[in-house]
Chain A
Amino acid sequence: MKKIVDISIPLGPVHPCFREPVRIMCETKGEYVLSCETELGYMKRGIERIMRGKPWQEVMFIAERVCGVCSVIHNMVFIESIEKISGIEVSPRALYLRVIANEFDRIQSHLLANISYCNTIGHETLAMYLLNERESVMDELERLTGARVTCSYIIPGGVRFDISDEEMRSIPVRLKKLEVNVNQWMNMFSTGPLIALRSRGIGILTEESARLNHAVGPLARGSGITFDCRLEHPVYQKLDFVSIVSNGKDNYARVMLRFSEIIQSIDLIKTALATLPGGLVRFGGIPKAGEITHSGEAPRGQLTYFIKTDDAGRIIDIAIETPSIMNIEVCMQKMIPGLESIADVASVFVSIDPCIACTER
């Protein structure tokens, strides 16, 4: 009998489709992918070790630099943990402004994920349209917080500064334009016949294996699991937030789910601006000793901080659990093995929106 030689193909760490360094080793048999594993360790900076023993004023800025793409949610979860430990009262107006900043961050992160996916499957036109749309969202973030990427907008007791009256009037107008454009690109993605060939039925993750392997975020919601930390957040409950769930289970469903979440985030910002309470945007407060485990919904899934502080407000112990570490493992074990072509490995890996900077810290 003729022996079929299995070849091991490495992808990365410097790869045209990946923004960040990661190495994927694929065991193949012809074009079929039998198994694969990741080799991480190109981004390990030791952030949790740096944080220990530092005062919270310093750790606040380091926490934001765990990940540059979703920096607002890292800032938000860290500050909410400090507030819950110390019982600091937060200004009601600031709570709404935090949600607005967080949703703008989610929109740009989801757009970035879809840009990467379109680039990977070779649809550069749609990627450029979306990249231009993302720049307008970055402008909104800059007008609101003062910086494009690392904003440091959220502080204990409130936010750094108030939104101006002019912004209050002009944001809904610009959001309306953004919604029209995003709907147009969403329609372009859903009706493209070549996009469907590269996306539909590829990278299937069943609900059972998503549940067993603890998939989180859009990956879990794309497989029919209703799991969203925003459902337990008091401000999102006031805004009548309902989690979007899709049953498609493939690459196409995940990208479309991200488009739907962008539209939902735009609606959330509009509602939050319409019902914004008055008053001051920052109250004072003194951090106290204690420990807590607190979660928030990052653009990629559940983000958990375990924090232990002492009387002076120094961080004694900290552990961060980011969403990408679970999603990458699910992708390696359940989604990539069994693919019919080696060309789909990169597109399936990009469709889960991996963030290596978060994963390795």
Chain B
Amino acid sequence: MIEIIADRFTYAVILVLMMVGLYAVIATGNLVKRMVGLSIFQTSVFLLYIATAKVTGGGPAIFDYSDLAARTIPEDAIYANPLPHVLILTAIVVGVATLAMGLALVVRIREVYGTIEDDELSEIDHDDELKKGV
């Protein structure tokens, strides 16, 4: 049992992070905290990808330029799978863009409504609707 968990320790950590993030998104009414939760959730997925890129005993997939030019890289060189790293680099950019967009919205919501608590916002929205007769 212990061994099973120890073998998959990385995944256990990722799973915990993922749940922490999702829980924060669902449970909190504060919009900024919700963005924080969303970021944690996304980051856990980044870790999931990065964890799979690890090859036991492998270093980064970077070789000396002269070796590359002379094609003297050993055939059995062990290196981590670089593809997930590249993918996650892209995903990080996407995550940053989402975070910036979300925070920009939160700032604007704060200016327009005067609050960033979800329950107060829905109350104000509800009052708005009643006032307009919708």
Report whether chain A binds chain B: no
Q: Report A's interface with B, CB cutoff 8 A.
A: none
Q: Report B's interface with A, CB cutoff 8 A.
A: none
